[in-house]
Amino acid sequence: MNTTHTTATTLGMRQTQLFTKTRKQAPSDEISKNAQYLIRAGYLHKEMAGVYSYLPLGLRVLDKITTIIREEMNSIGGQEIRLSTLQDQGPWSASGRWSSADVDVWFKTELQNGTELGLGWTHEEPVTNLMRDHISSYRDLPQYVYQIQTKFRNEVRAKSGIMRTREFLMKDLYSFSRDQEGLDAFYDEAALAYMRVFTRLNLGDVTYKTFASGGAFSKYSHEFQTLSDAGEDIIYVSKEKGIAINKEVYTDEVLKDLGITRDSLVEEKAIEVGNIFKLGTRFSESIGLTFKDEDGKDQFPIMGCYGIGPNRLMGTVAELHSDEKGLVWPKSIAPFKAHIVRIGEVEEVVAHADALYETLTEQGIETLYDDRDVRAGEKFADSDLLGIPVRIVVSQNTLTEGQLEVVVRATGEKKMQTENELIEELSE
C-alpha cells in the first residue's frame, strides 16, 4: 500500500482517493473565467455569491502562493504575526474608522451583552495599538510585521470570482520607522519584494508598479496592476518606463510630475494584485503610539502598509494562465508538478504506473496519479482542465516502447522519455 496521504503537504495523491470531482458545467450564476475553471476542476466550492471554499487541489495552490509571499516578506525583515479577526471598537473609534457610515465594507456583530464587534477588513488600528506595548524608544525601531490572515469586507459587487470576495486572505505588512528616510528606503525594498512575488507567479511581465492616489501624507501610493481584460481597473501603461498610472490620478499635472507624455501611454484593463501605501503618522498619532528619540523627546513612528491578495493572485493566474481546455499552472504554484495518466487496467500497465508513482514521490516530485478506471478521453480532458505542468502517459503502448509519453501542458509539446530523463527534468 502506498504510504502517502491526501493532505495539502504530501507529495503524492491518487485520484481514486481524491474526493473532488471535475464537472462539465460551472454554476450558472458564475460569470468569471477564474471561478468557472477552478470550480469545474474541483479546486473550489462556491458557497454563495462572493464566498468560496478551497478544496484539496485549490488549497495546495493557495498554500504555495502564501509560501512565496512569506519567503519574500521574510527576506526584507518581516516578522510574521497573526492578529485577531474579531475587532474591539476602541482603536477604530480613535482613528475615526469605526462608523459604518465612514467605512461601508464593515461586517459587524455583537457579544451576548450587546457590545458591538467588527470583523477585521484591514489591521492598521489593532497593529498600531499592540505596538504600544513593544515600542518605546528609537532603539525599538524600525519594525516590520506582517500577517497572512482572513479579511472580511462587505463588498457591494462580487462578480470577479475569487478576485473580489467578501472573505479573503490578505498578506498585510506594517512598517514602523523612526523617520521619513527609513520609511522611504523600506517602501522601495517592499516594492522590489512585491515584484519578485509576481515574477515567481509568472505574472512579472504583465504586472506594473502603478501610481495611485496617496492620501494626506504622500503624493502617491503604488498599486501593482496585472494587465487583464478581467480586471476592474483602468490604467495607463508606459511600456518604455515599465510603470503605469491609475485612471484616478491620470491628470496633466501628474504626467508632468512623472515626466511622461500622454501619447507614450497605452490604456489597459488591469487587476490590482497589491498595494503599498505611506501612512505617515495618521495611525500612530490617533492611536497614541510614540517613542523617545535620541534627545528623549516623544515622536510618532512613521508608518507604511503593504497589502497583497493571495486569493486574488490565484484568480489572476487562472485568468492569465489558462486556455480553452482549462488551467495551465506555472510550476511554482501548480498543485502537483507531474500528472501520471494511466490508460488501461491491464495488470502490467497498472504495475508500471504504480511503480512510477512510487518512484516520483520518493524522488520528492509532487505527483498526482490518475488511477481511476475511466475512459482515456475523459482522463485527458480532466488532465487538461486540472492544468498540472507535465502529464505522463502510461499505457500498453508506452510499455511496449519502453518509454514514457510526456506532454507539457503549457505548450502541448509531446516527447518520449525514459524514466531517468523524466526524473532529471522534473527535479530541476
Which region, judged by CB under 6 A, interacts with ligand ATP, from 5-13, 183-191, 303-311, 331-339?
303-311
Judged by beta carbon, residue 309 or residue 326, the one nearer ligand ATP is 309
316 lies in the site for ligand ATP, by CB under 6 A? no
Nearer to ligand ATP, 17 or 122 (CB): 122
Cα 18 to Cα 428: distance, rounded to the nearest angstrom: 27
- Using CB under 6 A as the binding rule, whether residue 311 contacts ligand ATP is answered as yes
Q: Which of 168, 187, 211, 329 binds ligand ATP (CB under 6 A)?
A: 168
Q: Which is nearer to ligand ATP, 153 or 391 (CB)?
A: 153
Contacting range for ligand ATP; rule: CB under 6 A; set: 89-97, 237-245, 308-316, 320-328 = 308-316
**DSSP strand E in 358-403: where?**
367-370, 390-394
Instruction: Kindly tell me which of 143 and 221 has the beta carbon lying closer to ligand ATP.
Output: 221
Rounded to the nearest whole angstrom, what is the least distance from the CB of residue 125 to ligand ATP in the complex? Answer: 14
User: How many angstroms separate the CA atoms of 127 and 130, rounded?
Assistant: 5
Does 322 help bind ligand ATP (rule: CB under 6 A)?
no
Quick check: 335 binds ligand ATP (CB under 6 A)?
no
DSSP3 helix / strand / coil % (the chain, rounded to 5): 35, 30, 35
CA 355/CA 319 separation, integer angstroms: 35
Q: Strand 404-408 relative to strand 390-394: parallel, antiparallel, unpaired?
A: antiparallel
- Distance separating alpha carbons of residues 386 and 340, to the nearest angstrom: 12
The reply on whether position 175 binds ligand ATP by CB under 6 A is: no
Residue 399's closest CA among 337, 335, 347? 347
3-state secondary structure of 106: coil
The end-to-end CA distance of the chain, in Å, is 28
CA 89 to chain centre: 29
Cell numbers at residue 342, please?
Answer: 494511466
Q: Please select the residue that binds ligand ATP; options are 307, 326, 335, 387, rule is CB under 6 A.
A: 307
| Shortest distance (Å) from residue 308 CB to ligand ATP | 6
- Half-sphere exposure in the Cβ direction for 56 (13 Å, CA): 20
CB closer to ligand ATP, 119 vs 273: 273
The residue with its CB nearest to ligand ATP is 309
Specify the residue, 274 or 389, whose C-beta has the smaller distance to ligand ATP: 274
Q: Is 312 in the site for ligand ATP (CB under 6 A)?
A: yes
Please state, in angstroms and rounded to a whole number, the distance separating the CA atoms of residues 337 and 329: 9
Task: Residue 236: name the closest of 250, 224, 223 by CA.
Answer: 250
CA nearest neighbour of 368 among 395, 386, 347, 350 = 386
Q: How far is the CB of 105 from ligand ATP (least distance, A)?
A: 8
Question: Is residue 170 within the footprint of ligand ATP (CB under 6 A)?
Answer: yes
Least distance between ligand ATP and beta carbon 130 (Å)? 20
According to CB under 6 A, which residues from 141 to 160 bind ligand ATP? 153, 155
Q: DSSP labels for 20-66?
A: ----S---TT---HHHHHHHHTTSEEEEETTEEEE-HHHHHHHHHHH
Closest CB to ligand ATP among residues 164, 278 = 164
Q: Which long-range contacts (CB under 8 A, 24 or more apart) does 92-96 make?
A: 92/118, 92/125, 94/125, 94/286, 94/287, 94/288, 95/124, 95/125, 95/282, 95/283, 95/286, 95/287, 96/286
CA neighbor of 182 nearest in space, from 298, 74, 299, 302: 302
Q: Please report how close the Cβ of residue 245 comes to ligand ATP at its closest, in angstroms.
A: 16
Closer to ligand ATP by Cβ: residue 255 or 271: 271
Kindly state whether residue 72 participates in binding ligand ATP, applying the rule CB under 6 A.
Answer: no
Is residue 387 close enough to count as binding ligand ATP by CB under 6 A? no
Stretch that binds ligand ATP, among 191-199, 251-259, 294-302, 309-317 (CB under 6 A): 309-317
Residues in region 243-302 near ligand ATP by CB under 6 A: 272-275
The residue (of 198 and 336) whose beta carbon lies closer to ligand ATP is: 198
15 contributes a contact to ligand ATP by CB under 6 A: no
CB of 165 to ligand ATP, least distance (A): 4
Sheet holding 390-394, edge to edge: 12-14, 367-370, 338-342, 390-394, 404-408, 414-417
Please, which of residues 16-45 interact with ligand ATP by CB under 6 A? none
Q: How many residues in the shown chain lie near ligand ATP by CB under 6 A?
A: 16
- Which spans of this chain sit near ligand ATP (rule: CB under 6 A)? 122, 153, 155, 164-165, 168, 170, 272-275, 307-309, 311-312
